[in-house]
Chains A and B, each alone.
Chain A
Amino acid sequence: MKKGLKRLDLIFKNEHDSAVILEKSLKRSNEELIEDLISSGLKGRGGAGFPTGLKWKLTAEASGQEKYVICNADEGEPGTFKDREILSSVPHKVLTGMAVCGRIIGSEKGFIYLRGEYKFLIPKLQKAIDEFHELADSLNLPFRVQIFLGCGAYICGEESALFESMEGHRGEPRNKPPFPTDSGYRKGPTVINNVETLAHTYSIFKYGPEKFRDLGVKDSRGSKVFSVSGDTPIPGIYELEFGMTLQKFVDDFGDGDAKAVQVGGAAGFCVPRKKFDKTVIGYKGKLTGISLPTGGSMMIFNSSRSMYNVLHNYLDFFVEESCGQCTPCRVGTQQLLLGIEAVKRGDKSSQYLEKLLELAETMRVTAKCGLGQSVANSFSSIVENFREEMIY
């Protein structure tokens, strides 16, 4: 293993000081805590990258009888398993983040929406929750956390579908607005954060916003946990500083023959070798070059891989995991899949790829939720960069 990139150990370092951190934080004012989060530059690690401090602030300001704090542990993105690791090794960090959030927004009810496949985590997680409740009681904090087990649909990780699912309905995304900060679970103002996001708040409350800010680059602060998979000799979970170029990443993790990296899983972008050194891993911002957000999945493909097969797999996934509610996504995903098959077989001319690219763009601008909107990411980036592989 080469040692180009700085490995970090903020998230997984097992610090046994939740009691101290929680007590210390509760003594501070809501405004101070929110100010720390905002100035840290922390953005959501679930994929959309919304500034976390602002999310909490908006929810704190929203009017509503009952408010909720929800930890999104649905982790359905193929090739991602970082949230599982965080929840099993440092659950108290997540719980502390949730409790502080509860105090700030005025909520006594927290939920962890746990992916169905992670059922095996429950005994350990419940034990951590029980211990945490004792701690909260000792500090006179009436905050309680409950586990809600999902049932395995990818779409239930989308926040509004997640609320629907928790309310006992079919997991279908809602129209936005209203946003969760105004109307989320049971129509109450709700903070919903990714597991990793919440764990980061713990570090920020512990070390202060400066330490977090010092990591990463403009618009993308702090560290990020990546799930590295594909053609790599060292698959696994790595905490790295934001802002690296893809070239550096591949130098460290590739097998020397990487032809493309899929950043952000099926919903993310495929970057070909020639763009590695111009692509920065981070949130969209004013950085030069292309910058790509990611929920954490980094999949490396070497030259033995057929990008047609890669795209076919992703489209299979979307055809199955679309909730089926809205036209562009339900029908569009099927048409993209059938379309590339038809072109490959020669039933449709390569011109048809243009129509499909247009369709992907229509899906991006018209689909109801992030799932349908993001199909174009992988579709267009693969078709545009590996057009020959689609045809021959």
Chain B
Amino acid sequence: MVEQVNLKIDHLSVSVDAGATILEAARKVNVRIPTLCHHEDLCVAGNCRVCVVEQVGLDRLQPACAIPVSEGMEILTNSMKVRNARKQIIELLISEHRAECTTCYKNGKCELQSLSNEYIVGESGFLPLVPLKGYTIDEFSPSIIKDDSKCIRCQRCVRTCDQIQSIGALTVAHKGGEMKISTFFDKPIYEVVCTNCGQCVNRCPTGALTEKTYINEVWNAIDNPDKFVVVQTAPAVRIALGEALDMDPGEIVTGKMVAALRRLGFNAVLDTDWSADLTIIEEGNELLQRLKRVLKDKETDVKIPMTTSCSPGWIKFIEHTFPDFLEHLSTAKSPQQMFGALAKTFYANKIGVDPSNMVSVSVMPCTAKKFEANRPEMRASGYQDVDFVVTTRELAMMVKQAGIDFKSLPDDDYDSIMGESTGAGVIFGATGGVMEAALRTVYEVVTGREIPFDGLNILPVRGMEEVREASLKIENPLPEWDFLDGVEVKTCVAHGLSNAKKVMEKVKNGEADYHFIEIMACPGGCLGGGGQPLPTSPEIRKKRAEAIYREDAGKKIRKSHENPEIIQIYEDFLVEPLGHKSHELLHTTYTPRNRY
């Protein structure tokens, strides 16, 4: 057992594990100490000083987030000394922050604003620093907007980019009054190694880092009578949207979300889960082809392990960081882009709409999807395949703007075609989900039998462990796949780019004997994406993951290759996986990029 330490917080006795911080001890006795630079996902910084408390016997105040408890410590969190200091520190932060709260994108969700609500009565009193600084807003990126005038230098973004993502696109530059969060040579975010994952946006306490919003563009399209507006919804949106609409983490709101989208005025409400199933068919077959060419035909120029390609943050990361390893990526497009390419071709044709009059919108848990939709490769239909990407957060805003009482909405169903999906499509939203969905299909294609896991639940690839390895032995395959007999198929799942980096270093050093690797840029997979409702924490992501697997378990069909609308599209249009049409519409290429 860990050694216990006894102390007093505001005269309340508490004992906690040795090594715990004052902040953790205070939480245990339900004493709330305000924080700003502190974030559960990040290492301790102790730089905002909002959490300072008084330790009896010490002259200086102590940052509760950074100081470990010690035996007999007496802490006061609400003494006059603490209140005065805390108030002044918040006043200082306000003085260097452009407080245009009423028009700010983060209005109502800004942590500085809520601290100000609690502690500042009347004017803040210090001189405004913002007018002296000549700030410009970086809004060149299709995904992320950086507004230094709202930055309070807590460095949560810097720590996120460095520790969770191991990218270091955002760094601290200069010192003293000039100190700011910057990029390589202060270039626009668009031009540096930023992967657009939006994890920094998820952790920015103010409006300094936000997603670029396309809400107005979407409203305009909906209001235009000449446009046929289709919307697709990613797997992880349905298990998180409720959080931004006053519901608890982990609530599944698929039916309400579909109803809301219809009310907003979209002409067709379709599902990215459907194209996730399609991705499994294409990517699964690609994997089998690669295995055949390597193991049976002994071709040497085919790259194994193959890695997934549906996370656009991961794609941009590998393009920057491991540009010599792009051939390991599956050429299959992400579900969003498969959907986009088919919407303006196959679907437009089916329903008799001129693709030039079609506007394709997607609702994603992700900010990198905005960049992905704008990639020059993503115009297979002859148009931009996906016109506008809005995040889960933006959709919640639209629902509010439309005056919809979300909680009381009756459940509704997706439109057909391209609306039917399986449990395999749903679990794309969680780390390990693509791997599990692929294995459910690939194993059955190879052996003709269902994968031997209770209830099709492949537990070894689930969970929140940073890097997970699992293997599966193939026995008695169908004759076509006899070269796989006895082969132990080795897989690896990683989420968060720092973990992706670890895995890729192994690949690079020839130390990885995997066949298939799933990588998601964000912690927890898409459910922890940069466009998801705020706040985020390990606890919240766990609840979202549980909801995803509940949704999967509740589906009648659990395997991608059994989705009737998928079977249909191969019969009607695509002909066969990896066929001519697939190559034209559903596969893509990658671009090596610079390392800064």
A175 and B175: CB pair below 8 A? no
If A365-B60, A366-B60, A366-B61 touch, does A328 touch B178 (CB 8 Å cutoff)?
no
By CB atoms of chain A within 10 A, which of B44, B67, B95, B126 has the most? B126
Quick one: CB contact mask for B45-68 with A, threshold 8 Å, 1 for yes? Answer: 011111010000001110100111
| Chain B residues, Cβ within 8 Å of A358 | 84, 88
By CB atoms of chain A within 10 A, which of B47, B50, B152 has the most? B47
B172 and A362: CB pair below 8 A? no
For the complex, is B403 an interface residue (Cβ under 8 Å from A)? no
B84 and A333: CB pair below 8 A? no
| Chain A residues, Cβ within 8 Å of B11 | none
For the complex, is B351 an interface residue (Cβ under 8 Å from A)? no
Q: Is the interface of A mostly helix, strand, loop or mixed?
A: helix
How many whole Å from A266's CB to the nearest CB in chain B? 13
Smallest Cβ-Cβ distance to B90: which chain A residue: A327
- Bound-state CA distance A209–B551 (Å) is 77
- Bound-state CA distance A177–B76 (Å) is 19
A325 and B176: CB pair below 8 A? no
With beta carbons under 8 angstroms apart, the residue of A170, A175, A330, A334 that contacts B44 is A175
Quick one: CB contact mask for B173-214 with A, threshold 8 Å, 1 for yes? Answer: 011111100000000000000000000000000000000000
B60 and A324: CB pair below 8 A? no
- Bound-state CA distance A256–B61 (Å) is 42
Q: Is the interface of B mostly helix, strand, loop or mixed?
A: loop
A365 and B47: CB pair below 8 A? no
- Bound-state CA distance A331–B177 (Å) is 7
A327-B48, A328-B88, A365-B60 are known; give 14 further A-B pairs, CB within 8 A.
A322-B179, A323-B176, A325-B153, A327-B47, A327-B50, A327-B89, A328-B89, A334-B177, A335-B92, A335-B126, A365-B61, A365-B85, A366-B60, A368-B63
How many whole Å from B561's CB to the nearest CB in chain A? 51
Q: List 13 A-B contacts (CB under 8 A).
A: A321-B175, A322-B176, A323-B175, A323-B179, A324-B153, A324-B174, A324-B177, A325-B47, A328-B92, A335-B92, A365-B60, A365-B61, A366-B60
Scan residues 71-85 of chain B and give those whose CB is less than 8 A from a CB of chain A: 81, 84-85
Smallest Cβ-Cβ distance to A332: which chain B residue: B92
For the complex, is B96 an interface residue (Cβ under 8 Å from A)? yes
Scan residues 333-355 of chain A and give those whose CB is less than 8 A from a CB of chain B: 333-335, 338-339, 342, 355
For the complex, is B125 an interface residue (Cβ under 8 Å from A)? yes
Smallest Cβ-Cβ distance to A364: which chain B residue: B60
For the complex, is A22 an interface residue (Cβ under 8 Å from B)? no
Interface residues on B, range: 35 or more
| Chain A residues, Cβ within 8 Å of B126 | 331, 335, 339, 359
If A334-B177, A365-B85 touch, does A324 touch B52 (CB 8 Å cutoff)?
no
For the complex, is B99 an interface residue (Cβ under 8 Å from A)? no
B60 and A177: CB pair below 8 A? no
Smallest Cβ-Cβ distance to B44: which chain A residue: A175
For the complex, is B264 an interface residue (Cβ under 8 Å from A)? no
- Bound-state CA distance A365–B68 (Å) is 18
For the complex, is A114 an interface residue (Cβ under 8 Å from B)? no
Smallest Cβ-Cβ distance to A154: which chain B residue: B175
B175 and A338: CB pair below 8 A? no
- Bound-state CA distance A167–B577 (Å) is 53
With beta carbons under 8 angstroms apart, the residue of A334, A355, A367, A368 that contacts B129 is A334
With beta carbons under 8 angstroms apart, the residue of A319, A325, A339 that contacts B177 is A319
A322 and B177: CB pair below 8 A? yes
Quick one: CB contact mask for A279-290 with B, threshold 8 Å, 1 for yes? Answer: 000000000000
With beta carbons under 8 angstroms apart, the residue of B81, B88, B177 that contacts A330 is B177
- Bound-state CA distance A366–B63 (Å) is 8
- Bound-state CA distance A318–B67 (Å) is 26
For the complex, is A129 an interface residue (Cβ under 8 Å from B)? no
How many whole Å from A94's CB to the nearest CB in chain B? 29
| Chain B residues, Cβ within 8 Å of A325 | 47, 153, 155, 172, 179
Quick one: CB contact mask for A188-216 with B, threshold 8 Å, 1 for yes? Answer: 00000000000000000000000000000
A367 and B153: CB pair below 8 A? no
If A324-B176, A324-B178, A339-B127 touch, does A368 touch B60 (CB 8 Å cutoff)?
no
